[in-house]
Amino acid sequence: LTDAGKQLVRDCNRRRILVDLSHMDEKGFWHTAAISDAPLVASHSNAHAISAQSRNLTDRQLAAIAETRGFVGVNFAVPFLREDGRRDAPTSLTEIVRHIEYLLDKVGEDGVGFGSDLDGATMPDDFGDVAGFPRLVAALAARGYSAELLHKICYGNWLRVLEATWGE
């Protein structure tokens, strides 16, 4: 970050404005993490260990997010889900589930939720559009996720991190 960018992060923290890390490269992420006093939030990012896209988060970044009781919203866009990064290949919503499970392991059940990215990106075939949310929730329930954990993933964790950032 430039000096102006660092000042912007400080000003956002002071004004209780959430700083989203999803479109930052790794260097920008670490600059922000070093100066921010708010929970670290990546509103629509995935696990680099599964899909080595530059905007997906490394295990080290995930640990930093967990340390701040931050949040990762899982991105549903096909190229950020797939190991090969392809946009045009058939992809199942099980890839979303795979990232959710990985992130839960790394960040914890209080720091993961839906980030989607439904603004024109290619979605998994069996997810499609916003109408796919019930199918995704059903897939998580079929894997044994409790009602409490589903509540957290669907919206509870978003509310928690927004309250922590904005205040009550």
Domains and CATH numbers, the chain: 38-166 (3.20.20.140)
What's the pLDDT band for 31 if we cut at 50, 70, 90?
Answer: very high
Residue 26: per-residue pLDDT = 93
Indicate whether 167 pLDDT > 90.
no
How large a percentage of the chain has pLDDT more than 90? Answer: 91
CA distance 30 to 68: 13
What's the pLDDT band for 168 if we cut at 50, 70, 90?
Answer: low
Q: Please, what is the average pLDDT of the chain?
A: 95
Average pLDDT over residues 59-75: 98
Indicate whether 108 pLDDT > 80.
yes
Q: Whose CA is closest to 50, among 84, 74, 19, 21?
A: 84
Spatial neighbors of 20 by CB under 8 A, at least 6 apart, are 41, 42, 43
Q: Whose CA is closest to 42, among 106, 90, 85, 87?
A: 106
CA distance 14 to 16: 5
**Whole-model pTM above 0.85?**
yes
Residue 58 is given by DSSP the state P
> Where does the chain show beta strands of DSSP type E?
41-42, 71-75, 112-116
In which order are the strands placed within the sheet that holds 71-75? Answer: 41-42, 71-75, 112-116
CA distance 130 to 120: 12
Average pLDDT over residues 50-62: 96
Q: Whose CA is closest to 71, among 36, 32, 134, 115?
A: 115
CA distance 10 to 4: 10
Indicate whether 17 pLDDT > 90.
yes
Residue 119: per-residue pLDDT = 85
